[in-house]
Structure 1
Amino acid sequence: MRGVLSLPLWLASLMTLAGVLVFTQARADEKDDLLAKIAATGPLPCDQQAVELVNLQFDKMEADLLLAGIGKSYALGDTWVAGNTFYDQARTIMAAALDEDQFKNGAFFSYTPTVLISKGLSGLSVDDLRYLEQFFSKPEGKLYWEENMDGTICAAWLKKFGQAPYPPLDGATAERWQKTTAGFKGAQERFVKRFNALPKATQAAYYDGKDKIGPSVQQAPLKLINERNHELGQRLNNVLSSKMDQLQPIIDGFKAAKG
């Protein structure tokens, strides 16, 4: 009778590790697939408006953030602000340089509702995402999608990014913001009416799904920005460095005028 052939310990361990890696990758692929499916559940007209505002507001802040860094580095004081002739000259140069960089290398900020939803839910487990995929296919999930995902979350984004410390809105942007926010009039009453029309079990399931989602999607824009700090910082600093020969005389002129 032949003896049982045993594998060397190192080979057995390697095969076990390979199995774990394959399983882990499969779970990661499933998670990405679930996130994509959930984010594509339905239309998000309000969120689309809000995310365009988020992109615009972040974009408008870039030049001022870079000039604020210059002000700190050169100890220019609290008069190095918009409205000062030297500051405004520097801002014009930086704004043009940033526009040129984005034309060549793509937008600094080009988020979409699906990107933010995927980011907001990315911390959930595969099992939780499976649950949410089913949740959004049911009446309770449809209510959440329309009244929360494209309702209260959208309203929170519009409110947060439409006021200080973010730049003031103007022109067509301000008009669009006002029109979109006006659409929330009566939203609470509409939600209550729809919610009360649901069976008790469906109402309970609504809260189960809402609790699982939590505040993560609402917090997604700033979470993404924080994660991209290093990448964005490098790119913005490269733009700044390329214009320092034009900015230096302006800085010197500001300091001389200040005395």
Structure 2
Amino acid sequence: MVSHDNNIIIRTEKLCKSFSMKNHSEHILKNIDLEIYERDFTVVMGASGSGKSTLLYMLSGMDNPSLGRVFFRDEEISSKSNNALSDFRRNHCGFVFQQINLIHNLTVLDNVVLSGLLRNKNNAEVMQKAKQLLSMVHIEEKNWDKSPAEISGGEAQRVAVVRAEINEPDILFADEPTGALNSESGCRVLDLLSNIHQQGRSVLMVTHDFNAALRGNRILYLKDGVICGECNLGQYTVDHDKERNIQLDGFLKEMGW
């Protein structure tokens, strides 16, 4: 198991999220008390509509809870203004989504550089780091000046991971990062996330994919807005053993997945 030494990066107190419907309120998250640990690869699973993405938005400061509080290293973020939350996300978080969300009127390289310049105003340093990272994830130099629409979906998602990683965030949030990719491209993106985690970064990923979930060391299961179980798989390795698959499969069956 990954050692987190009880260092908590994010925690919640009685976290709730509801939406007003025509004649009633829809309760998406219900009184969640949760701790996310430093250097863990935490995976949130659950059926469609269980509140997985909503939970990610709450933990990352992308949305505000209806009730309850969210803390990042003991500083409450749920009470911050929108401007303060923007600063928080820029300084501490990286994001990768199923919808890749690269800017199509910018080149591949400029998408990464623009993100880097939000933290580091030294254009030469950011440019050099962006090129190094793109090379590391096997985006060929001939593609750097292309629009994201001119490269494959798998390549574009790897660019999105680089964009999220260039500022070396304290935690990287991934919402169904392989959901729109074929199995080969998805595996490459998961390899990148595993790599980032093994370098000491905290990762929190929402997924409904079994093979993606195997990359985590801690699996949380969300059902009807409540975390109803967790499974600790230990450190992922390239040659992960059959027992890891059996353990996760058994846990998910127990949860009714």
Shared fold by TM > 0.5? no
Greater RCO, 1 or 2 (C-alpha within 8 Å, sep 6+): 1
Based on CA coordinates, which of the two structures has the bigger radius of gyration? 1
TM-score by length of 2: 0.22
TM-score by length of 1: 0.21
Higher strand share: 2
Higher helix share: 1
